[in-house]
Amino acid sequence: MEWEIVMGLEVHTELSTKTKIFCNCSTQFGGEPNTHVCEICSGMPGTLPLLNENVVRYAVRTGVATNCEITQYNKFDRKNYFYPDLPKAYQISQLYLPICRNGYIEVTGGDGSPKRIRIHEIHMEEDAGKLIHDEWEDCTMVDYNRCGVPLLEIVSEPDFRSAAEVIEYLERLSAVLQYIGVSDCKMQEGSLRADVNLSVRPKGSEKFGVRTEMKNMNSFKAIGRAIEYEANRQIELLEDGKEVVQETRRWDDGKGVSVAMRSKEDAQDYKYFPEPDIPPIEISDEYIEQIRNAMPELPEAKKRRYIEELGLPEYDTGIITGSIYLVKLFEKTVEITNNPKDSANWIMGELMKLLNDTQTLPENMSFREESLGELINLVNSGKINRGTGKKVLEKVFCDNVDPAKYVEENNLAQVTDTGAIKAVIEEVIANNEKSVNEYKGGKTQAFQYLIGQSMRALRGKAPAAEVQKILKELLG
């Protein structure tokens, strides 16, 4: 039987506001445990939440960028559950009136044509703390730094039919969130987390199968693997005449398997009720319009502009516009080199190779943005050759060196003085009598050998064409 996979996503993204959603503590990632904590976010008796208006602004911006309707009369609700990482024993969230509804993001469907993934809702809520299990001491410690970091939960409709669609959606969504400056979407730091609801059904069937929810995927690749695993697991169960149990499963990327965490029967009753400590929030038409007008260029528009105005290939623009960090680097590089094609080529070629080789994500690049443009200018002006350029880029990428300074300090500039090149080649000819004779006897490989020797003697710093020309002259 042919099976169809049906998926919906719940994406949690941490907002990059400077302060937490209900107090003035810093939202910065890292930091010694329990240093970004106050009486409010640690839920001390008598304290009250005070809504950070920027969270509302960021949520509306996200809704506008993902084609949502904005709820103009907003309320918060309490989701009650008891867990050590939640000091108030409830999470302030939105159940009844989420701030955004009925949006969509476009991906490429199975037949290659555009397909809309509908967004059911986006709501605002607070993050919980983090539990750190100390196996050595056999105890669990709580770090409340993350408590009260603002989150958006972006809930899709069950519109996905393949892992490719899921990953494209996540790539596009995180690109949008980064472009509009609401989140840095760093999966390893947990600022973007995606839970996958998955069920399978015989192809052609209208009825949904029993679904499971998968958590704990820390990269797009892990999501892809988890989907494949879970779809196969469900299909095997059904083909064996067994049933899929509705449950939450935890993905173990190391082992490549998912493990059941809790079944529907253990599901918590969250006893939601309207949050009494936060008055309703009204959002005016003008407020939404203002945000709409201030919206920066979004990935799709940028991509089209790169193709039409800069004449870049579609594939390259897709890669570059997929990450705000690559976009920023690209635009800075173009600004410095005034050469979009070369800028794109260096990013698509050498930089991508370095990112892949070192398993680095664009958001984790740590060199000065101007360095790439300066380096390209050094190559294009002939100050260094392309080969040297690649080596310098490696140093820029790894150690954040200043390209011009590094070239100078390591004496990497090309020798452009013809007299000096000539002197070196003359010496090579003198030392390689045998090859010279072979060349003169008609052996062309001997010429290549002599070029090689000359370049080595010049330590690669002379233009190859110039060396070839002079060698030919000298050999007659």
Partner 1 sequence: MDILEMTATQLGAAVKSGEVTVKQALDAYFEKIDKYDKTYHCYNTLCRDEAYKRAEEVQKGIDSKTLTSPLAGVPIGIKDNICTKDIKTTCSSKILENFVPPYNATVVERLEKAGMIVIGKLNMDEFAMGSTTETSATGATHNPWDIQKVPGGSSGGSAAAVSAGLAVAALGSDTGGSIRQPCSFCGVTGLKPTYGSVSRYGLVAYASSLDQIGPIGNTVEDCANLFEIISGKDEKDGTSMEFPHFSAEKALAGNVKGVKIGIPRDYIGEGIAEDVKKAVLDAAETFKSLGAEVELFDMPIVKYAIPAYYIIACAEACSNLSRYDGIKYGYKSANARNLRETYIKSRSEGFGMEVKRRIMLGNFVLSSGYYDAYYQKALKAKKLIQQSFFEAFEKYDMVLGPVAPTTALKMGESLSDPLKMYLGDIYTVMVNIAGVPSVSAPCGFDREGMPVGMQLIGKPFGETEILNAAKAFEDATDYHTKKPVLK
Q: What angle do CA 297, 300, 302 make, to 5 degrees?
A: 50
273 binds partner 1 (CB under 8 A): yes
Q: Is residue 90 part of the contact set for partner 1 (CB under 8 A)? A: yes
Q: Say whether residue 96 binds partner 1 (CB under 8 A).
A: no
Alpha carbon of 127 to those of 93, 228, 366: distances in Å? 10, 29, 28
The minimum distance between CB 394 and partner 1, in angstroms, equals 50
Stretch that binds partner 1, among 10-18, 275-283, 305-313, 333-341 (CB under 8 A): 275-283
Residue 48 binds to partner 1 (criterion: CB under 8 A):
yes
Residue 73 sits in the site that holds partner 1 (CB under 8 A) = no
The residue range among 169-177, 272-280, 294-302, 324-332 that interacts with partner 1, by the rule CB under 8 A, is: 272-280
Asked whether position 52 contacts partner 1 by CB under 8 A, the answer is no
Site for partner 1 in 212-271 (CB under 8 A): 269, 271
Write phi, then psi, for 59 (nearest 5 degrees). -65, -45
Identify the residue among 28, 35, 50, 473 touching partner 1 (CB under 8 A).
50
Strand partners, 142: 131
Q: How far is the CB of 168 from partner 1 (least distance, A)?
A: 36
Which residues, numbered 382-421, are part of the site for partner 1 (CB under 8 A)? none
Q: Hey, CA dihedral for 332, 336, 339, 342, is it positive or negative?
A: negative
Rank residues 29 and 270 by Cβ distance to partner 1 and give the closer one.
270
Q: Is 20 in the site for partner 1 (CB under 8 A)?
A: no
Q: Does 43 bind partner 1 (CB under 8 A)?
A: yes
Binding range to partner 1, per CB under 8 A, among 40-48, 151-159, 166-174, 435-443: 40-48
Nearest-CA neighbor of 98 among 63, 49, 66?
63
Query: For partner 1, which is the closer residue by CB, 51 or 329?
Result: 51
Give Cα 475 to chain centroid, integer Å: 55
* Exposure string over 256-268, b if 16+ CB within 10 A, otherwise e: eebeeeeeeeeee
Q: Closest CB to partner 1 among 88 and 225?
A: 88
Closest distance of CB 276 from partner 1, Å: 4
Q: Does 78 bind partner 1 (CB under 8 A)?
A: yes
Q: Closer to partner 1 by CB, 77 or 168: give it.
A: 77
Supply the minimum distance, in Å, between the C-beta of residue 61 and partner 1: 22
- Binding-site member from 2, 73, 82, 359 for partner 1 (CB under 8 A): 82
Question: Could you tell me the smallest distance in angstroms from the CB atom of residue 123 to partner 1?
Answer: 18
Q: Does 47 bind partner 1 (CB under 8 A)?
A: yes
Asked if 400 contacts 367 with a C-beta cutoff of 8 angstroms, the reply is: yes
Q: Please give the C-alpha separations between residue 252 and each of 215, 225, 256, in angstroms, as whole numbers.
A: 9, 10, 6
46 binds partner 1 (CB under 8 A): yes
Query: Contact region for partner 1 (CB under 8 A) — 49-57, 109-117, 195-203, 426-434?
Result: 49-57
The identity of residue 77, as a single letter, is: D
Q: Which of 36, 88, 172, 383 binds partner 1 (CB under 8 A)?
A: 88
Positions touching partner 1 (CB under 8 A) are 39, 42-51, 78, 80, 82, 84, 87-90, 269, 271-273, 276-279
